[in-house]
A = this chain, B = another copy of it.
Amino acid sequence: MDFTKTILDENEFPKRWYNILPDLPEQLAPPLHPLTKEPLGPKDLQPLFPLEIIKQEVSTERFIDIPAAVLDIYRLWRPTPLYRARRLEAALKTPAKIFYKWEGVSPPGSHKPNTAVAQAYYNMKEGVERLTTETGAGQWGSALSFACNLFSLECMVYMVRASYEQKPYRKMMIEVWGGRIVPSPSTQTKAGRATLERDPKTPGSLGIAISEAVEDAMTHENTKYSLGSVLNHVLLHQTIIGLEVKKQFEKIGLYPDSIYCCVGGGSNFGGFTFPFLKDKLNGTKAELEVIACEPEACPSITRGLFAYDFGDTAKLAPIVKMYTLGHGFIPSPIHAGGLRYHGASPIISLLAKKKVISTQTFHQNATFQAATLFAQTEGFIVAPESAHAVRAVIDEALRCKRTGEEKIIVFNNSGHGNFDLAAYEAFFTQKLVDYSYPEQLVRKAMRDLPEV
């Protein structure tokens, strides 16, 4: 058996999500109210989220049942395959065994619907009629539009302007599923208008787009807000990925030595790694290496401060303790729009602070070079976000070539790059800029951290 592709059947399909909260090395610092700076209670979150989501956000249950209606939609593309990247290994002449999980088979083309479907379902159950959200590269916005459509909810997407202009097909995809979309900052919200006044040419950022979506939800009837990353419940829903991968490795009698995932807010990283980190945290797999791959242009965990900060630019979202480059930081317009976030999930931040996980950073050209080699060996064209993990894995496999290590490496191939082909072309024609971390700007943004 050569394990080119490991699939799971209906009986092996996970029916529960894994909640890492009870297994963390210490309790998370409580999220604070953006105005009062007091610890948030469930009531403070009710204008934004349905009750079931608020319960999941703080649940200490280790496993949470996936509702049947959600499983039924997951089945459209799940369980997703786990591949052994034999052609990539051969091209690198590495003794390492490289595996990847392929989340690009979902209708919107990434892992994002894993939580979008769950969130749309819980909102529908509680009578919500309209959801607002932000999106970076458009993966999340199209996933929520897809999910809302299946549960007959309206969907309003604020898409970061830099990506809106780079990826016109994402907008059209959102519209095919009936969603509405505007570039952010927009003139539809106070937060958007204020930003446009300060800088009419701003490329936008996830921080600004979040402000707009939150403001929209708070000022419209029967409308709630949906976040595609960062928060505990989002990462919880994404653990379906890692739970499947664990079963797939069990099936072929292996366990990974190193796991690589890109991290923006952290939903794909958390979803893939938490079920494995469970084993590392309880000591059964203490040697497991887990690496978060960040862009040089926005290295939130690698270079940020571990501090309380706002989740968004306009200070409407909760204050959470996380690695942050400052809520005022607007990252350079790299093509990996999903990684352009000033902070990172509080859980992942805590795990990094405790050195349970480590980080690496990469420039755009290096990631597209890796993604091109991947496309030319494994066939699949990956998203610019996932390309960060591909780069890290190739570097590690080349190191193994020098040392002779037969290490088992796995990464999450979190989405396809069909709508990012203009970025590949920019790479081929040497038009990609290797934006660095603008330390001065960030220091300025850091001075703005809330006093708590």
Residues of A within 8 A of B (CB): 1, 4-5, 7, 9-10, 72-73, 75-76, 83, 87, 105, 107, 109, 146, 149-150, 169, 172-173, 175-178, 372, 375-376, 378-381, 418-419, 421-422, 424-425, 428
Contact = CB atoms under 8 A, between A and B. Distances in A.
Contacts of A75: 4-5
A132 to B, nearest CB: 20
Nearest to A117: B379
12 contacts: A7-B9, A76-B378, A87-B150, A105-B105, A107-B375, A107-B381, A109-B418, A149-B376, A169-B421, A173-B418, A176-B381, A177-B375
Contact of A372 (B1, B146, B176, B425): B176
A5 B76 contact: yes
Contacts of A109: 418
Contacts of A5: 75-76
A177 B105 CA distance: 20
Contact of A418 (B378, B418, B425): B418
B421 A176 contact: yes
Contact of A172 (B72, B83, B378, B422): B422
Contacts of A378: 76
Contact of A146 (B177, B178, B379): B379
Contact of A379 (B150, B380, B424): B150
B177 A107 contact: no
Nearest to A424: B176
A176 B375 contact: yes
A5 B422 CA distance: 34
A87 to B, nearest CB: 7
B424 A172 contact: yes
Contacts of A422: 169, 172
A324 B450 CA distance: 73
A432 B7 CA distance: 41
Contacts of A419: 169, 418
A53 to B, nearest CB: 22
A376 B421 contact: no
Contacts of A172: 421-422, 424-425
Contacts of A376: 149, 176-178
